[in-house]
Amino acid sequence: MPEIKVMDHPLILHKIGIIRKKETGSKEFRELIGEIAMLMTFEATRKLELEDVEIETPITKTKVKQLKGKKVAIVPILRAGLGMVDGMLTMIPAAKIGHIGLYRDPKTLEPVEYYCKLPEDCANREIYVVDPMLATGGSSSAAISMLKNKGVKNIHFMCIIAAPEGLERLKKEHPDIDIYIGGLDEKLNENGYIVPGLGDAGDRIFGTL
């Protein structure tokens, strides 16, 4: 069963409070996005399957748990999704990384694709699509459709802030994926920005405001 989970861990909520502040500068913003992504990875990977394997400690033989089956790939939606990758790699260092380049046309709010490079074996991996912001849902829905067109089945989506409108769209267009959200906000404004939100995540991460 697909899972939709809004984070409730105090460390995650505290850090989200800091990135919302308009006076938080790029350096701190970028560091916190990475830390939040790292902490959210704990929740988002809870369903990964384990198997028992026999090993030898320096003392004796014993059984330990190891991750079973599919390997992981992280797929950030450029640019802002890049800010989440290093934090996630701290938790899953062997993950492969795919990149999907999309920007949202400021007038139409429609996603415009400009890049796609995925691991060759992505159809056999557990895929984590990441983007700090889920606003109308256009970008994340398009990215997930691109992956499905390449035969990827096990898709999880992780974002730090979501608008209800984007969550509804994603649930409708991709009812089969897990969705992990740091904070679920009130609404979108007339320009398609999340309220209260945190502004433009990509610009704040890369200092291009």
Residues 169-198 that bind ligand URA (CB under 6 A): 193-194, 197
The backbone torsions φ and ψ at residue 14, rounded to the nearest 5 degrees and listed phi first, read -65, -45
Residues 35-94 that bind Mg ion (CB under 5 A): none
Q: Is 76 in the site for ligand URA (CB under 6 A)?
A: no
Pick the closer one to ligand PRP by CB: 88 or 201: 201
| 208 noted as active-site residue | no
What CA dihedral angle connects 16, 115, 105 and 24, to 10 degrees? 20
What burial class does residue 185 get, using C-beta atoms within 10 Å of its C-beta: 0-12 exposed, 13-18 middle, 19+ buried?
Answer: buried
| 200 noted as active-site residue | yes
Q: Which residue in the list 30, 41, 104, 185 is annotated as catalytic?
A: 104
What CA dihedral angle connects 143, 184, 22 and 141, to 10 degrees? 10
Q: How many residues does the chain have?
A: 209
201 annotated to bind ligand: yes
Task: List the beta strands (DSSP E) in 59-154.
Answer: 61-67, 71-78, 96-97, 99-104, 111-117, 125-130, 133-134
Residue 45 DSSP label: T
133 annotated to bind ligand: yes
Determine how many CB atoms are found less than 10 A away from the CB of residue 145. Answer: 11
Options 43, 131, 178, 185; binder of ligand PRP; rule CB under 6 A: 131
Q: What is the smallest separation between the CB atom of 58 and Mg ion, expressed in angstroms?
A: 51
Pick the closer one to ligand URA by CB: 31 or 91: 31
Residues 32-71 that bind ligand PRP (CB under 6 A): none
Q: Is 138 in the site for ligand PRP (CB under 6 A)?
A: yes
Binding residues for uracil: 194, 199-201
Residues at the interface with ligand URA (CB under 6 A): 80, 133, 135, 193-194, 197, 200-202
Catalytic residues: 104, 108, 200, 203
